[in-house]
A and B are shown apart, each in its own frame.
Chain A
Amino acid sequence: MYRRTILAVTTAIFAAMGAAQAQQAVKIGMVAELSGAGAPAGTNWRDGIKIAVEEINADGGILGKQVDVHEYDTQTDPQVSRAMVQKAIDEGAYAILGTIYSGSTLVNMLVAQQNEIPQFVGSEAPTIVQKGNPFVFRTSSGAQKGVPALVPYFIDTLKAKKVGIAWVNNEFGKGGRDVFAAEMEKAGVEVVADVPSEQGATDYAADVSKLKESGADAVFVYMNQEESARFLIEAKKQGLSIPLVGEVTLTEAKVIELAGNAAEGAIAHVGVTATATDIPGIAEFNEKFVAKFNRNPTHDAIKGYVGTWATKYVTEMVGEFSGAKFAEKMKNLCLNVAEHPRMLLDTCWDEAGEMSRPSFMVQVKDGKPVVIGTAAAN
């Protein structure tokens, strides 16, 4: 009898403690590419979120509740990502952070929308914010904003009158090529060489030769990582000396690793970069990340970090945990660094969830991307 009483009292105490803890915590579902081809991006996204959550909890949490992040691995598979978003919501997630791969986000964002759950994504495909989903928000600008941001660099900095375009002939490459060609036409710059190549192409000798002979002042390179690296290797072999400028991919760490010293001098526009250490918030984040994970953060880590802090800021503006009110508040919202320092840069979202903030031009120097300029938010 005595034992039973003790057991019942103990159980009741633990249950009460659990309930109290549950009341004090808010669940966030981190759904990302933690394995498979997207693992490098997903693990950085996750680790950026980890730093943000530590800071938020040290700062009193969100509306006084501690943040409890649950991790869900999509295995870089769109269908798995959809199931994981559903699982996170079933387990009580107030918001979803992820995914990064656009192919996954396009599939899983419908689940979050149906459940009125706010979702910050690291994806950059234009279509994500063109489907009328009021619950999806970017953590970096879409591609349709990134390529136009390059135009002033070609015209004002490089003073290019004639340009070449080397692009990979898939949806990604064709989209970027079309936007760039249209922007050049508007700016009165002549496209003197338009050189497509197939995805997975290995021999770029003819492509580089055509660009050399075209008389272009600079080349816009819009390819996936491996193709970018092979193109840079061939460009070095043929001594192509005009500026090679790309959007994000061309100066990514993987491209630099694959191309080696052939990547030296390559230039790209990037939405956000951990190498912009002139900005105090980014420098501080960089320092914390290196101390905690013993490696340099990528732009995906910053995106995860910013998405987590935006969740806190906006929820506290709303004053309650309501997905519908959160989505309403996000429309045409701007969070400036003066009042919201963890956003790192002044950031705005439009009605569709598209984001704009200042961006960067980087160049590979001594094997590392270095910030050489900034582009205003567009």
Chain B
Amino acid sequence: MSADTHAHEGHDGHGHHGPKWLQHHFETPIQQFESSKLGMWAFLAQEILFFSGLFVAYGIFRIAYPEAFAAGSMQLNKIMGGANTIVLLFSSLTAALAVRSAQLGKKDEVTRYLFITIICAFGFMVIKYFEYTAKFEHGLLPGIHWNPSHLVGIDAPLDHMHVFFGVYFMLTGLHGVHVLIGIGILFWIMMRNHNGEFSKEYWTPVDLAALYWHLVDLVWIYLFPLLYLI
């Protein structure tokens, strides 16, 4: 990278020594920043469409089997789901504050806020683990694994109730994968920040990582009422 920058400076007409984080195909930092942001938003738009398939499946099956969905939702723990919502919202706050600190060039604060965000992400996964374990133990699984042994609010399982759990595990599972990937990205950015790669002039990666994390939060904002609060 540094070799590239030197080469660029060699035949650079206007005598500016570009900072080493400014890639040679961008004229100015603002151009690089705007391009990176648009690229990230295009990716996030893709993520929305990626999840939309499962949301449409949810819509089709909920309209087809409303009673089974209501009964299935009753098996989920609103308190655990609500707690996870608050954990994710809090992690979104700390991610936004990490970006704010990065904008001001406060390196140690960025590390601290990203660390809290990662801890919250693990907290989310721990609560999810307890929820999933309970469902496994009670046989509330999709398809051929449907073997309910413990039901809340109803005496006997309803027809098609396993479909609700199919949708539940696919939606929360895909979301959980995003949380795990998010942990990896946030950790990577935290280490890069710790190594002093970012400054008051250049903090785009912190911003983009936070955008990804906010998207994970956005998806959960809809999953929570759709699955837990029917």
Q: Do A and B come from one complex?
A: no
